[in-house]
Structure 1
Amino acid sequence: MIYVGGVPFSADSSSSSSQGNNTLVALMEHPILVSASSSFMAIPERKFSVSEEYGSERTRQSKCVYIFQREYATVDPALVDLVGTDEATTCVGLVLRNRKSGMTSVSHMDFPNVVDIGLTQMLSLVVDHDADTELDVHLIGSFNDALPQHADIGTRSESHSKLDRHSFRLCMKIVEILQRRREKFHIQTLHVLGHNTGWNSEGNAVPVFNGFLVETSTGSIIPASFDRTSRCPDEIVRRIRVMASFGDPSWKGRLLDTYNTHTDQFIIAPCSWTMSLSHSALALRDLSDSEILLNCSTSPSAEGPDFVDNERRIWDYLIQHPDWRDTFPMKQPHIFARSADGGWMRQ
C-alpha cells in the first residue's frame, strides 16, 4: 500500500488494467511529491570518486556499495555509509528503507518484467516479520523519452503522454506493484519522467540526474554521478553479467544479487557466455560511435559521455576472454572483501 504524507494513497481507476497508469499519473501530480521533486532538483550533484587525480573530493573513508543496471543490494547502516547507482536513462533507481532499523535496499531496475520478483528480493531483508513495517521509498531516474525534440515540457501531460515508451511503462509497473502489496510504502521522492527531464544542446529530452547516493545513517538522498574508479568492484565482469542474464533462464524476472548484506562482501557468482557473444563483440567493435548508440541503447540521444567507451571495453574483454571459464575457473565466484581504506580487495 502506498502512503503519501502519512496518508494512504488511492487513485480512481475504471479498470484493473489502468490501475498502474492512474496511480502513476496521480502521484506525479500530488503536491507533496511535486514539492519533494523540486527540492531534490535543487540539490547539487555529487561527483563521487575514489581517486584524487580526477579532481573530485576524496571519499575513500566512506564505505560505499555501488550497483549496476539490473542489480540490487541491501545494506546495513552499521557496515555501509553510502549506497548508490548511476548511468540510468530509461531505468529507475528504487530505494526502500526501513524507518526503524535503517536497513536499506537499492535496485537499478531496467525493465518491467523484473519489478515483481525484484521487489520481493529487495524486501526480504528490510521487512520486520514480527510487526508492520514502515518503509520510506524513493524513485529516481528515467525521463520523458516520449517527448519529441523541442516539446513543451510544461504541459500537464508531459509525464504520461505515451504508454509505449520504456520509462513510463517501468514507472507504471513499479507503482502498481507497490500499491498492490501489503507493506506500507511511504513515497518520499518521485523524481522520474517529466520531473527529471531536461534538454541537451541538440534539443533532445534527457534526464537531469542519472544517479544518486543514499546516506544510510540518515536515509538522505542526493543526486550523484560516479567515475570509473568508484564503479567497483569487478566492473567489467559485472557489466557482462548483466548482458548474460538476459539469455539465462535462471535470472528471468529477477534482479542480480551480488552483495552479501551480512558479511559486507561482493560475491560475483559465475556466469557463462557463448563464443557467439565474442563473435558479436568483434562485429560491434567496428561500429561508429553513433551506430553503437543506436544499436545498444534504449535512449541513444540521452546516454552519458562514457557509454560508448564502456561498451567497447566490454567487447574488448569478451574478445580477449571468449571462454567464460577463463574468468571463472572451476566455476568459482569472485569474492571481494572490504579493505582498510573502505575500498574492495579480491579474496
Structure 2
Amino acid sequence: MIYVGGVPFSSSPSSASPRQEYEILVALLEHPMMLSASNSFKELPELKISDAQGNSCCKLKHVYVFQREYATVYPEHVDFIGTDEATTCVGLVIRNQKDGITSVAHLDSPSVVSLGLNSMLSSLNTSIDTELDVHLIGGYEDSPSQDMGHSGGKSEDRRKKVGHSWDLCGEIIKALQNDATPFHIKTLCILSHNTWRDNCGTSRPIANGFLVETSTGFIKPASFDRSSRIPDEIVRRLRVSFSFDDPAWNGKLLETYDAREDKFSIASCCWDVNLKYHARKVLLLSDLEVLRFCSTSPDAENPEFVENTRRVCRYLVKNPDWRKIFPLGKPHVFKRTNTGEWARCE
C-alpha cells in the first residue's frame, strides 16, 4: 500500500480503466509533496564517486548495483549504496525506517518487478507492520506521445507510443500499491519529473544515478566511474547483456551482495557460445551504430556507453565459453579487506 505524507494514497481511478496503475502513477506525479521532493532532489549537486586515490568518498565503504541487480545492505557494514547509468531504467530504494537496512534495485523491465520486489522485501525481513521509505529515481519521457495505455492494442504498439519508462514505472507502482506493506513514497524523480529537452526537442533524463547514506537514509544524485563500479565489473555487465536466454534469470533480479557477511557473490550464468560472433559484429560498428543498435535510449546515454559496450564485447570474444568463467557453475566471491578493497576468494 502506498502512503504519501503519512496517509494512504488514493487516486480514485476509474473502475473501467484497463490500466489503473497509470492513473495512480499520474496522480502521484501531480501530488504537491512529490513535486516538492523531486525538485529538492534535483537541486542537490551531483556527487562524482571514484575509487581513485585522493577522493574522500572512496574511504567510505560502498556497494554498487548494476542494471538488473539488487543489493541489501546493513548500516553497520556499508556507508552508502548506489547505482547509475539509468536512462529508461528506474532505481528503486526501499529502506526500513526502524533499523536502516536498505535495499536498492536497478530495474530495467516490467517483467522483473514482481519477483524483484519480493526478493527485496524478503531481504529486509519485513512484516505487515513494517514501515518502509521508498525512493524512485530514473526513467524519463523517452517518447513525445504519452498515451498512458488507455487505447489498448498490442503491447509493442503501446510501448512505441509511451516509451520504455512508462510501462516500467506503472508496473512498479502497481506492485507497491497491491502489496500489504506500508510503502512511504519519499522521492518520485521519474518520467516528467526527470525529463529535460534540448534545443532540438530531444528528451533526456535529468538524473540517472544516486547514492543512499545508510546511516541517515538521505539520498543524493551521484555518478560512479569505472573504478567504483566494483567488483567484477565486466562480468556483471556481461551477464546482463548476454545471459538473456539463461532460464535461471527469467523474471528475476540478479543476486549480488551478501549483507550479513559483507561480501559479493556474483552468481553464475550461461550464454550461447555463438554470441561471440554477434560481439564481433558489434565491434565493427561505428559509435553511432553502437548507440542505435545496443541502447533503448541512444540519445540519452552517457559518454561511456559505447566504450563499455565494446569492452564487454571484447571480453566475450576472448571468453566465449561461460563454463570457463564460472567453473562448475560456482559464483565469483569477493570479500572486503581491512583497507576496504574487494579481494577475490578462490
TM above 0.5:
yes
Q: Find the counterpart in structure 2 of residue 153 from structure 1.
A: none
Cα separation, 2, equivalents of 1:71 and 1:123: 14
* 1:45 counterpart = 2:43: no
TM, length-normalised to structure 2: 0.93
Kept in 2, the 8 Å contact 1:159–1:193? The answer is no
Kept in 2, the 8 Å contact 1:70–1:110? The answer is yes
Decide which of 78, 81, 86 is 1:80's aligned counterpart.
78
Q: Find the counterpart in structure 1 of residue 155 from structure 2.
A: none
Gaps of 5+ in 2: 151-157
Kept in 2, the 8 Å contact 1:28–1:159? The answer is no
Q: Find the counterpart in structure 1 of residue 206 from structure 2.
A: 208
Kept in 2, the 8 Å contact 1:72–1:256? The answer is yes
Alignment of 1:85-234 (within 5 A): 85-129=83-127, 132-147=129-144, 164-200=162-198, 203-234=201-232
Residue 88 of structure 1 and its aligned partner are, at CA, apart by 0.2
Cα separation, 2, equivalents of 1:128 and 1:208: 32
Q: Find the counterpart in structure 2 of residue 58 from structure 1.
A: 56
Residue 106 of structure 1 and its aligned partner are, at CA, apart by 0.3
Cα separation, 1, equivalents of 2:126 and 2:19: 31
Residue 159 of structure 1 and its aligned partner are, at CA, apart by 9.5
**162-171 or 268-277: bigger deviation:** 162-171
Kept in 2, the 8 Å contact 1:87–1:211? The answer is yes
Kept in 2, the 8 Å contact 1:64–1:342? The answer is no
Name the CA shift for 1:58/1:9 in 2 (closer, same or farther; >3 Å): same
**25-34 or 138-147: bigger deviation:** 138-147
Number of corresponding residues: 335
Kept in 1, the 8 Å contact 2:130–2:181? The answer is yes
Question: 1:194-232: per-residue Cα shift (whole Å, max 9, x none)?
Answer: 111123465421111110000000000000000000001
Q: Find the counterpart in structure 2 of residue 152 from structure 1.
A: none
Kept in 2, the 8 Å contact 1:45–1:224? The answer is yes
Gaps of 5+ in 1: 149-156
Cα separation, 1, equivalents of 2:116 and 2:331: 22
Question: 1:13-65: per-residue Cα shift (whole Å, max 9, x none)?
Answer: 2236321011000000000010000100100000000103xxx7332221100
Where 2:140 maps in the other structure, the secondary structure is coil
Cα separation, 2, equivalents of 1:202 and 1:258: 40
Cα separation, 2, equivalents of 1:169 and 1:159: 9
- Off by >6 Å, runs of 4+ in structure 1: 157-162
Where 1:142 maps in the other structure, the secondary structure is strand
Question: 1:278-305: per-residue Cα shift (whole Å, max 9, x none)?
Answer: 1110111101111111101001000000
Cα separation, 1, equivalents of 2:99 and 2:25: 28
Cα separation, 1, equivalents of 2:95 and 2:251: 22
Cα separation, 1, equivalents of 2:252 and 2:293: 24
Cα separation, 1, equivalents of 2:314 and 2:85: 20
Identity across the alignment (%): 54
Task: Give the aligned CA root-mean-square deviation in angstroms.
Answer: 1.9
